[in-house]
């Protein structure tokens, strides 16, 4: 295996790609922190960078610990007392900017699930005669969404029951705090999708380079050339994917933790989107994202090893790998075909976006079994990986 | 030990590269001579188990080599024609890599690698990266790796290509020595290599053995076919030209 590692690390293109990948993370860390801005009412000025994140954290702590009905009623009542169009610049200056994140959280919570943008004025129209009914409203919103008529197909009764049960079992009330640092960290984990290009570059030549150089003919005549060597290549490639992506995460999480700590890691994911029906903390979701990106990375690596062994061309394999990652980003969602949409959700660039995935209420029904989106991602990528794994040896030995 | 080729055929779509070849190989040096496209490399690859046999079979000690799998490859040493080396590996690393694929114990592999690199005149270059090697040095390294597992069947495809005359002579002696207790099959365009060291010579054309035997057998055959007198000075080159210049085959410089 040591020689297989050597082959990966001694290829100049691989090393350049690896370094560029980590440089990208470094740039993202710098850019996320430097772009952070906090409006300080006392000095009537914007504070930027690390200090902005600290100020935001202090503000969130001062607002509330827990999203209670009483707090919500009080907050929305205060917002309504201004009697302003919440889309106006004046409302932004007077209400939204001082409240910060909590305003967007509340406004999004009262926005219809089919809307792509936050309806700020939903808060103005809210009847507070019986209080904010925050959690009750959350469930009504989810039920309304599940009962909608969609042009590409509706939820079955079983699916509705499944999702309602899941949403009802979400731990409430939600804890409140600043999620900015962890949201930045999640973005950094999502940069892992771009690191998949490094995976593509480094794995595309694993088998094909042996053909391109002619060494395959020698290797295949050795005692272990048709079995152990192939497994070594596969093992090293998979370990490379896991190691490289973990390295990227350690770099981003380590740097963030070193600079800011990891405040907000134990807050619930519902602070991203209150309708999310999973009992996870933001920290767990970040780890989950990493796990899914890693699974996708391993699958892509195995598929490319198969292609590398069969096509015997590093370039062709590289093109296939890049296409697997880039092309689906341009596939539109259909207004007619639910099937296509369900397939489209499974392509790497969408599947890796766990933050979005969790609030989408996408499920796959097979007979009486309902598989949630995250579960389906795991199943599909695992099945593809196993198939590729079984094919690699056959393809490499046969391609001779 | 007998390596039996039994009506071995290789067909690529409409082209027959190797056509129902049968022979029995025992310890000794076997030379394969033929023009480009005669089927030499294909035959060698089939013997090494890296080209599928379309029909017929190859057996070692009565067992089909495909069935033997790793056990057969354990007995094999192969030097492919124009094979790629890993430019960033040192000669020693390359030897140890191949040794690990041949299943050799690491300490034995180290010792054996040093001995073989010395034998092929690369002892002083064992720590140098292969990308700094000349064509001849790479070829010598290729020969050394083929011998790592002390193979009982040694298949050498154009082993003397790129070697200078001095190296070639040294290499011929080495092969002659190796052929005493193993099957050595070598293919070449260089007629003098075969003439000097092969115990048995196969002349290949269009996937078939058109003549075979010891140098003496072939001489007799040549004299018989051409009607030349005993007084004529015979060498294999004449025979080669006799067979290959007459046909339509592309003729490579001998």
Strands in B153-157's sheet, in edge-to-edge order, are B76-79, B153-157, B183-188, B28-34, B200-205, B208-213
Which pLDDT value is given to residue B252? 37
Residue B230 has pLDDT above 70, yes or no: no
Cα–Cα distance for residue pair B66/A29, rounded to 1 Å = 56
Domain ranges of chain A: 2-33+177-398, 67-168
Q: Could you give the domains of chain B?
A: 26-55+68-75+153-254 (3.40.50.300), 84-150 (no CATH)
Which has more confidence, B159 or A282?
Answer: A282
In 3-state terms chain A splits into helix, strand, coil percentages (rounded to 5) of: 65, 5, 30
Q: Give the tens place of pLDDT for each residue, A22-66.
A: 888 888 888 888 888 888 888 888 888 888 888 888 888 888 889
Which pLDDT value is given to residue B247? 45
Distance from CA of A306 to the nearest CA of B (A): 19
Instruction: Tell me the mean pLDDT in the region B109-134.
Output: 90
Which pLDDT value is given to residue A76? 92
User: How much is the mean pLDDT over chain B?
Assistant: 83
Q: Give the tens place of pLDDT for each residue, A356-394.
A: 878 888 889 888 888 888 889 999 999 999 999 988 888
By three-state DSSP, how is residue A369 classified? strand
Distance from CA of B129 to the nearest CA of A (A): 12
CB contact under 8 A, B149 and A215: no
Q: What angle do CA A208, A212, A214 make, to 5 degrees?
A: 115
Helix (H), strand (E), coil (C) string for A284-316: HHHHHHHHHHHHHHHHHHHHHHHHHHHHCCHHH
Q: Which stretch of DSSP H or E encloses residue B98?
A: helix B91-101
By three-state DSSP, how is residue B11 classified? strand
**ipTM metric:** 0.79
Instruction: Kindly report whether the peptide bond that precedes residue A382 is cis, defined as omega within 30 degrees of 0.
Output: no
The pLDDT-based confidence of B249 (bands split at 50, 70, 90) is very low
- Chain B residues bordering chain A (beta-carbon distance below 8 Å): 45, 48-52, 69-70, 73-74, 76, 78-80, 82-86, 88-89, 93, 96-98, 100-103, 145, 149
What percentage of chain B exceeds 70 in pLDDT? 92
Cα–Cα distance for residue pair B57/B55, rounded to 1 Å = 7
Q: Which stretch of DSSP H or E encloses residue A158?
A: helix A157-168
- Chain A residues bordering chain B (beta-carbon distance below 8 Å): 3, 6-7, 10, 210, 212-215, 217-229, 400
Count of CA atoms in the C-beta half-sphere (13 A) of A317: 27
**Residues of A whose CB is below 8 A from B150:** none
Residue A17's closest CA among A235, A209, A316, A248?
A: A248
CB contact under 8 A, B50 and A217: yes
Which pLDDT value is given to residue A295? 93
Q: Give the tens place of pLDDT for each residue, A55-108.
A: 888 888 888 889 999 999 999 999 998 888 888 888 888 888 888 889 999 999
The pLDDT-based confidence of B251 (bands split at 50, 70, 90) is very low
**Residues of B whose CB is below 8 A from A218:** 78-80, 83, 98, 145
The pLDDT-based confidence of A141 (bands split at 50, 70, 90) is very high
Q: How many CB atoms lie within 10 A of CB A178?
A: 24
- Which pair of structure tokens corresponds to residue B199? 């115990």
Instruction: Tell me the mean pLDDT in the region B214-224.
Output: 80
Nearest to B103 among A210, A223, A226 (CB): A223
**Residues of A whose CB is below 8 A from B52:** 400
Cα–Cα distance for residue pair B120/A353, rounded to 1 Å = 58
**Residues of A whose CB is below 8 A from B84:** 210, 212-215
């Amino acid at each position: 295996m040591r020689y297989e590692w050597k082959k990966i690390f001694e290829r100049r293109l691989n090393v350049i790609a690896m370094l560029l990948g980590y440089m990208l993370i470094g740039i993202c860390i710098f850019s996320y922190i430097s772009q952070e801005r906090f409006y300080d009412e006392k000095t009537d000025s914007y504070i930027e960078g690390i200090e902005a994140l600290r100020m935001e954290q202090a503000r969130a702590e001062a607002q509330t610990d827990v999203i209670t009905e009483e707090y919500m009623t009080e907050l929305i009542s205060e917002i309504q007392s201004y009697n302003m169009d919440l889309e106006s610049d004046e409302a932004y200056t007077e209400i939204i900017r001082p409240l910060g994140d909590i305003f967007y959280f509340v406004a999004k919570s009262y926005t219809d699930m089919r809307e792509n943008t936050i309806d700020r004025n939903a808060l103005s129209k809210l009847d507070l005669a019986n209080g904010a009914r925050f959690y009750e409203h959350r469930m009504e919103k989810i039920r309304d969404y599940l009962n909608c008529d969609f042009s590409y197909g509706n939820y079955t009764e079983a699916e509705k029951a499944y999702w309602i049960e899941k949403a009802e079992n979400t731990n409430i009330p939600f804890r409140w705090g600043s999620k900015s640092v962890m949201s930045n960290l999640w973005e950094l984990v999502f940069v892992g999708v771009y690191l998949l290009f490094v995976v593509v570059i480094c794995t595309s030549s694993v088998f094909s380079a042996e053909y391109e150089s002619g060494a395959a003919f020698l290797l295949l005549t050795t005692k272990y050339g048709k079995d152990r060597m192939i497994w070594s290549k596969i093992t090293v490639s998979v370990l490379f994917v896991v190691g490289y992506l973990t390295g990227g995460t350690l770099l981003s999480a380590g740097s963030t933790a070193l600079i800011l700590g990891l405040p907000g890691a134990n807050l619930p994911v519902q602070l991203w989107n209150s309708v999310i029906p999973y009992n996870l903390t933001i920290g767990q979701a970040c780890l989950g994202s990493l796990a899914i990106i890693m699974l996708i990375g391993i699958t892509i690596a195995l598929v490319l090893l198969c292609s590398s062994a069969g096509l015997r061309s590093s370039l062709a394999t590289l093109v296939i790998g890049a296409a697997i990652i880039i092309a689906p980003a341009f596939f539109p969602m259909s207004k007619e075909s639910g099937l296509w949409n369900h397939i489209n959700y499974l392509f790497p660039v969408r599947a890796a976006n766990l933050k979005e995935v969790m609030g989408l209420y996408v499920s796959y029904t097979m007979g009486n079994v309902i598989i949630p989106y995250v579960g389906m991602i795991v199943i599909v990528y695992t099945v593809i990986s196993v198939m590729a794994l079984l094919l690699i040896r056959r393809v490499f030995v046969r391609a001779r | 030990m007998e390596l039996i080729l039994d009506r071995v055929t290789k067909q690529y779509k409409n082209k027959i590269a190797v056509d129902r070849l049968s022979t029995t190989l025992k310890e000794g040096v076997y030379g394969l001579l033929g023009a480009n496209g005669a089927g030499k490399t294909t035959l060698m690859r089939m013997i090494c188990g890296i080209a599928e046999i379309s029909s017929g079979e190859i057996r070692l000690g009565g067992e089909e080599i495909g069935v033997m799998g790793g056990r057969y490859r354990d007995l094999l040493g192969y030097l492919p024609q124009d094979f790629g080396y890993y430019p960033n590996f040192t000669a020693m690393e390359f030897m140890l890599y191949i040794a690990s694929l041949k299943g050799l114990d690491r300490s034995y592999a180290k010792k054996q690698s040093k001995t073989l690199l010395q034998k092929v005149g690369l002892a002083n270059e064992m720590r140098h990266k292969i990308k700094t090697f000349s064509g001849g040095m790479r070829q010598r390294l290729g020969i050394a790796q083929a011998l790592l597992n002390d193979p009982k069947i040694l298949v050498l495809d154009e082993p003397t290509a790129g070697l200078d005359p001095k190296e070639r002579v040294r290499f011929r002696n080495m092969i002659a020595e190796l052929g005493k207790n193993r099957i050595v099959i070598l293919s070449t365009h260089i007629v003098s290599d075969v003439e000097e060291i092969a115990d048995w010579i196969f002349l290949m054309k269009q996937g078939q053995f058109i003549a075979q035997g010891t140098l003496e057998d072939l001489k007799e055959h040549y004299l018989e076919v051409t009607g030349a007198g005993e007084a004529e000075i015979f060498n294999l080159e004449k025979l080669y030209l006799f067979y290959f210049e007459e046909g339509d085959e592309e003729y490579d410089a001998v």
